[in-house]
Amino acid sequence: MNNERQEIVKQVTQVVSQALRVDAAKVRLEASLIRDLGAESIDFLDIVFRLEKTFKIKIPKGELFPEKLLTDARFVADGCVTAAGLDELKKRLPSANWDEFSKSPLVSHLGDLFTVGMIADYLAGKLAVTKS
């Protein structure tokens, strides 16, 4: 892991630890915010706002949480993500664990994809684009 990525991971860990009031030792890269760390919707809002403040960026609507995609009938049907929806989500969030999700692609399971590592990867990509 290079120095920049290490620093991003360290800051994301701190943000998540503060927002969820959990010991930083529990905030591992593979930890799911909802399933492992007990995050609720107010916590997601808190984390997004803290990340924007910490990294001095704006997380545009639809970028980290693909809301438009999830209301598109091509991509979501009867509470499940379709094959087309899965392809689209993989493009938007390439570092999420899609193998596990694909076994049971329920929309209600999407929240489990948000791990500490996934957020760190998203920010690393965003900051790299911002710098170039």
How many CB atoms are closer than 10 A to CB 79? 9
- Give residue 3's identity as a one-letter amino acid code: N
Secondary structure of residue 42 in the 3-state scheme = helix
Of 5 and 80, the one with the shorter C-beta distance to other proteins is 80
Tokens of 56: 């001095």
Tokens of 61: 């609507």
Instruction: Pick one of 3, 79, 104, 129: the residue that binds other proteins (CB under 8 A).
Output: 79
87, 62, 63: which is closest to 74 by C-alpha?
87
Q: CB 79 → other proteins: shortest distance, Å?
A: 7
67, 37, 132, 112: which is closest to 59 by C-alpha?
67
Binding string, residues 88-127; x marks residues near other proteins by CB under 8 A: -------------------xx-xx----------------
Instruction: Pick one of 22, 29, 48, 86: the residue that binds other proteins (CB under 8 A).
Output: 48
Q: Which residues bind other proteins (CB under 8 A)?
A: 40-46, 48-50, 61-62, 64-67, 70-71, 79, 107-108, 110-111
